[in-house]
Amino acid sequence: MPLGTIVLLQASSGSFAFAGFAAGAQSIAIALGGLCVGAVARWVPPRRIGFWAALLNAASILLLVLVSRGAGPVIIVVAAVLVGLTQPQVGPLVRVHWSGQLRGGDTHLVRTAMSYEGAADEGSFVLGPALVGLLLLIPTVAWGFPQAGPLLGAAVLLVVAAAPLARHYADLSSEDATPEAGSSGPATGTSSAAAGPVPSSAAGRAGARLDWPSLVTLTVAMISVGVIFGVAQTGVTAYAAAQGTPQLAGLYFAELGIGSAIAGAACAWLPPGFSLALRRWLFPLALVLGMMLLFWGAVAGLLPVAIAVAGLAVGPYMVTLYALTEAQTPLPFMATAMAVLCAGGPIGTAAGQFGAGLLTDMLGATPAFVIAPIAAALGLAASLANVRTFNAARLRGEGVSSTELADGDTGAQVGADVRFRDGEVG
């Protein structure tokens, strides 16, 4: 969606800065829409939300394509924002589902689920940009809408796949077994976190509450990886255009997703001793090195190689952020926490798209990539700051609930294998 928006609006306006600005506004709208869905999902079944969101999203895409031809910039940006607001929020809600199903059981299963979802997300980042490259071959310029193929393809997918699938499961949800509120083990059938509203505050003891300072640090860390995605989307589009092969932009960006998906899935096989305490600083540091490599590749004219290698650092970083959020959040507040965390991605993407668009218009495609290592360094700082904020909340006994101590499966940094449940200090 963001990459399709950039190529459509750059073709119609001739400006990477405007295309990046509109795509950035769209990304912010995705974040705001996610926060709304996270709140509403406590009362409305998520799959029912997904059905209507898919239809509205497809209609908004068609509106954006139509107004891209001849409409004023304000109207175009408003249409792009509507596309963002109506985007189905699959990622946050499915992670709430896994947390509700697996909390209280084997903590390794939570890590495996988060790794799988991270790999599934990255798989979409591989297939989506690849489809962008293929759909750009459709001669939509003959219809008066140059490079509109990717967004039209997205609208078709929403109507023929996303909406019917969401509706199917919405119909089945009434037949699913719904565990008692507060149930923390695996349940038969589909949990209420998936089929019905997200469990309410009754699921936790009075005392359990959301630790906002810790969540803010993790969200800032997620914003940083969003900036990297935004820079990559705009940067590879400009790089491919400068090479005279704009249809390869999606394939270049897909390389980032391939490496990220492979490395993210591999996190499920990390040994138990490779704890969150180690991953929370090692993977952000690897991200910094990977983005430095990405910038070097753009300067040296080796971007296709550098972006594939740099992608290996992205997946483990994101999986760790999801795992830390799950570990530090009481179950009744999981939907809110995941919505806030996932909102950081689009916000960062918006900043990256806009910043890279400005640098590209002023200096060319290569300088835009300098933003990536700076964003990665911010992510490293935020991840390290989370150590202090979460430990401070733990020492205050402020109702932190987790399936495993966020500082490590083996109690690293506190000297014991301490576990927290619904506000209790073990």
Element (H, E) at 425: strand 424-425
Helix (H, G, I), strand (E, B) or coil at 211: coil
**DSSP secondary structure string, 314-330?**
HHHHHHHHHHHHHHHS-
At 266, give phi and psi (nearest 5°): -65, -20
pTM of the model: 0.71
pLDDT at 46: 66
Partners of 425 in beta bridges: 420
Under 8 Å between Cβ of 409 and 276 = yes
pLDDT at 171: 55
> What tokens appear for 417 in the block?
């294998």
* Low-confidence residues of the chain: pLDDT under 70: 41-42, 45-46, 103-105, 107, 125-126, 169-208, 396-426
> What tokens appear for 420 in the block?
């927290």
pLDDT at 115: 75
> What tokens appear for 164 in the block?
């019917």
pLDDT at 420: 33
> What tokens appear for 90 in the block?
């699959």
pLDDT at 113: 81
Whole-number Cα distances in Å, 106 to 78, 190, 364: 46, 19, 50
pLDDT at 208: 65
One-letter amino acid at 133 equals G
